[in-house]
Amino acid sequence: MGGGYTRNKAMVDTEPDHIIAFIMDKSGGASHCLRYAQRNGIPFTLYEDSTPAPQPEREGTMRPVDLERRGKCAAVLRARFPEHASAVLSALDANPSAGVPYHGTPHMLVVALATLELSAEEQLTSDETDLVFLAALFHDYDYAGAEDDSVNTERAATAVRQHLAFTDHTRIATLVEASRYPYLVAPRSRLEEVLRDADVAYSTLLISDAQHFRTGLLLERGAPATEQDAIAFIIGHGLYTDSAVRAVDRFVTAGRRTPEA
């Protein structure tokens, strides 16, 4: 058995509560991992897709890891909204602020995937997961860089109403507006809790390329850009979901960067 298969088996042997599987191009390793999880009776959510062709309009703003995340988000969209997935992806590709150092499309992709993880762990319903996933995909759309973040979130909410009219766009726009920072009110739903935690904890800490995003935040806002700065901000800021708290606690306890699954 190859090293990758051995690592897959070891990962499943930790007995996770739920597995989210993204199988791209019928990957043998990922398929083996999922089959092993099935044999062990572990609940899973499966998304399958093929690698998209490079899109010229994203050249210069999307790194290979960003394109991989886009592919995962595309797989979710095609599985959940097959008639509208292409239009949503086209809207994302046309995001006027796609290349902003931090609040660009790559950050939105990270947050969207993080909501899937948190939604599964927090046992949100399928419909709730769809809503918070779509909100995350658009929460910084057409970001203006305004000091008053209500300006930025209103532009994103406008994009939601324009591009997500096929679903409950009013509720999604409300979720987007609730991501305004600093927060003016406590979360009014578990969906708002998941979106806020996904937005705060992942891009700057809980992914393998977090330094890229911390540097982007430095370029945009002059914010401190070290890992310890991110940990201090997140702990000082606080988190709402038990799942996000556990993820950050594991990261801090490990004392090292955690590779992205």
CATH code of residue 216: 1.10.1300.10
Q: pTM of the predicted model, to two decimals?
A: 0.80
Domain of 129, in residue numbers: 51-254
SS (HEC) of 86-113:
HHHHHHHHCCCCCCCCCCCHHHHHHHHH
Tell me if 157 is assigned to some domain. Answer: yes
Is residue 219 in a domain? yes
The total number of structural domains that make up the chain: 1
The helix/strand/coil state of 124 is coil
Q: Please write the tens of the pLDDT for every residue from 155-190.
A: 999 999 999 999 999 999 999 999 999 998 999 999
Token output for 189: 């739903």
Stated as kind and residue range, the H or E segment containing 44 is: strand 44-49
* pLDDT value at residue 8: 74
Instruction: Give the model's pLDDT for residue 21.
Output: 78
| Residues of the chain with confidence (pLDDT) below 70 | 1-5, 24-28, 48-61, 256-261
Q: Residue 260 has what pLDDT?
A: 43
| DSSP label at residue 183 | -
What is the pLDDT, as a whole number, of residue 203?
Answer: 96
What pLDDT was estimated at residue 58? 43
Domain presence at residue 208? yes
Q: Is residue 73 part of a domain?
A: yes
Say what the pLDDT of residue 261 is: 39
Q: Give residue 50's pLDDT.
A: 60
Domain assignment of residue 33, yes or no: no
Per-position DSSP letters for 216-255, written without gaps between them:
HHHHHH----SHHHHHHHHHHH--SSHHHHHHHHHHHHHT
The answer as to whether 9 is a domain residue is no
Q: Which residue has the tokens 């993820």?
A: 247
Containing 20, the helix (H) or strand (E) segment is strand 19-24
Residue 103 belongs to a domain: yes
For residue 23, what are the β-bridge partners?
Answer: 48
Q: How far apart are CA 217 and CA 68, in angstroms?
A: 22
Q: Is residue 260 part of a domain?
A: no
**Amino acid 5: pLDDT:** 63
